[in-house]
Structure 1
Amino acid sequence: MREVYKRLPKWNYQGTELALWHRDQQINDRGVCMDVQLAQAAIEAVDLEQKRLAKRTQVMTDGEVQAATQRDAMLKHIVESYGVELPDMQRSTLERRMADPDFPSAVKELLAIRLQASTPAPVSTNH
C-alpha cells in the first residue's frame, strides 16, 4: 500500500484543497439544515393558489374550463366566446398577445391566469 501511495500524484488534495475536501466531507456527513415547516407551508400556499386560479377560470368560462391548465378546453373557449385564435399556449405567445392593446381584456385576464397556473410548482414528497 505504501508503494501505491508513493506512486500517486502529489498534486491532488494538498494544502487548502485538502482542507476544503475535509470541510466538504463534514458538511456531507452532517447534512443540510432545512425548515420543513416552511417548505410544507409553501406547498400548501401553492395548492391554495392553484385552487383559487381554477375557481376563477371556472367563473370566467361559465364552467366550460375547469382549470387554466386545460390547454384544449381553454383554446376552444377563447375561440368560441371571443373569436380569438391562438396558435399555441406558449408563454411567449401569450405575453405577446396580452401586450396588444386591442386584445379583449377578458381574454387577457384568462391568459394571465393561464400563465400563473402553468408555472412549475414545488414537488411534494408527502402527497
Structure 2
Amino acid sequence: MFALPRRTVLIGAAVAPIAACNTNTGTLVAPPTTATPGQVLAATTDIPVGSGTVVGDTIVTQPTPGVFEAFVARCTHAGCALPSVSGDTINCPCHGSRFAVDGSVLRGPAVAPLEPVAVKIQGGQVVAG
C-alpha cells in the first residue's frame, strides 16, 4: 500500500478549496473573483446590442436594447474561463459549451445557465451591485 506523507495531505487539503482543476488541461485555475458592488464594469455604449464583452471575471451583455445583464465568466460545466463573447454567443474553449447573451445554455455539456452578477445603470455606465 502506498502512503502519502502527512505534509503532502495537509497542503493538498489547504489548496483544494481555493483552486479548481481545469479538466481539459489538468492545470489549476484560480476561482473567479466577483465584481465589487459599485465597481464600474463598462460604458453602456461599449456593449453592443445582442452581444457583450468580458471585463475581468465578469461578462456584461445587452441581450435587447437597453437591457444589460452580467454573469460570472466561468463555464458552469467545469469552471473554465470564458474569455470572450463571439457575436451573440459565449463559447467555452474547453469542452464546447455555448451560452446565449442572456446566460442560458445553447449547447452542452453545460446544463446550468451562467451565474448572474447583479448590475445597474448609472450615468451611462454598467455598475456592479
For normalisation by structure 2, the TM-score amounts to 0.24
Higher strand proportion, which one? 2
Larger Rg: 1
